[in-house]
């Protein structure tokens, strides 16, 4: 049987996403049963009562980072195939932190239903949520808020289980995806991490198309201008270096952060 600690440290990615609402699946695999150095698993993500896009990120090995974004407007269930874990880097006592960041809106009656498939390899997980403390910048307070991960308890749902989030857990604003992409560019500064520039370029192109479709409804003029700038970045992305992408995104964030 796979065991979990009563308390655990924040995930490796936490310093980068402390200001984003996110879900953490604390996954564990009995890797001693694996006959290969690397094995695949899949994850079904069903989220009822949510509209927006979903970003996920995980670290399958000590020097590799994988991430992608999912369009959740037309599909309730996403099957994430070809996920993998390096057996040499994870033992049965190690956690594979799978981070899910929703950008959009939850309805009051929602259901989060993750299903992990790992073939003959025994696996299990626990689910946690993180809600950032967004205090008003102009208000000084002597009250210290101790944020922590809240474990969510599954509820029975026919032949499986589902999770429902506390009312304090909200989806991130869709425009916050831009600042997240800026953060991803910095991941290459982590020692011994494989290059992520090509993945970031693909994510920018994919995200840009989604956001333009999401913003067909009435939106502020500043947001339209920002999306046009992101469109320009998309068409030039193939010819830009990591530093140029970083600087372009940072300029956009500085210019529009007070407007949107």
In 3-state terms, what secondary structure has residue 237? Answer: helix
pTM: 0.77
Q: Which two tokens stand for residue 173?
A: 């604003």
Q: Which two tokens stand for residue 165?
A: 């989030």
Q: What is the pLDDT of residue 1?
A: 46
Return all residues near 244 (Cβ < 8 A) that are at least 6 apart.
Answer: none
Q: What is the pLDDT of residue 141?
A: 42
Q: What is the pLDDT of residue 140?
A: 41
Give the whole-angstrom CA distance, residue 172 versus residue 165.
14
8 A C-beta contact, residue 193 and residue 65:
yes
In 3-state terms, what secondary structure has residue 231? Answer: helix
Instruction: Give the residues of the chain that fall short of pLDDT 50.
Output: 1, 135-146, 217-218, 221, 260
Q: Which two tokens stand for residue 209?
A: 């198309």
8 A C-beta contact, residue 41 and residue 117:
yes
Return all residues near 139 (Cβ < 8 A) that are at least 6 apart.
Answer: none
Q: What is the pLDDT of residue 123?
A: 92
């Amino acid at each position: 049987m796979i065991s979990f600690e009563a308390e655990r440290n924040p995930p490796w990615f936490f310093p980068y996403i402390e200001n984003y609402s996110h879900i953490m699946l604390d996954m564990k695999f009995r890797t001693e049963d694996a006959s290969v150095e690397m094995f695949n698993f899949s994850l079904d993500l069903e989220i009822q009562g949510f509209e927006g896009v979903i970003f996920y990120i995980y670290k399958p090995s000590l020097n590799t980072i994988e991430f992608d974004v999912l369009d959740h407007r037309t599909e309730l269930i996403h099957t994430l195939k070809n996920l993998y874990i390096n057996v040499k880097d994870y033992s049965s006592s190690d956690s594979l932190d799978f981070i899910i960041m929703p950008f959009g809106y939850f309805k009051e009656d929602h259901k989060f239903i993750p299903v992990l498939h790992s073939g003959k390899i025994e696996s299990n997980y626990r689910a946690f949520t993180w809600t950032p403390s967004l205090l008003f910048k102009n208000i000084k307070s002597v009250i210290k808020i101790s944020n922590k991960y809240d474990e969510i308890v599954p509820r029975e749902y026919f032949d499986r289980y589902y999770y429902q989030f506390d009312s304090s857990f909200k989806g991130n604003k869709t425009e916050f995806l831009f600042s997240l992409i800026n953060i991803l560019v910095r991941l290459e500064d982590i020692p011994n991490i494989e290059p992520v520039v090509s993945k970031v370029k693909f994510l920018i192109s994919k995200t840009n198309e989604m956001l333009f479709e999401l913003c067909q409804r009435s939106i502020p003029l500043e947001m339209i201008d920002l999306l046009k700038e992101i469109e320009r970045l998309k068409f030039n992305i193939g010819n830009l270096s990591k530093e140029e992408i970083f600087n372009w995104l940072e300029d956009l964030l500085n210019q529009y952060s007070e407007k949107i």
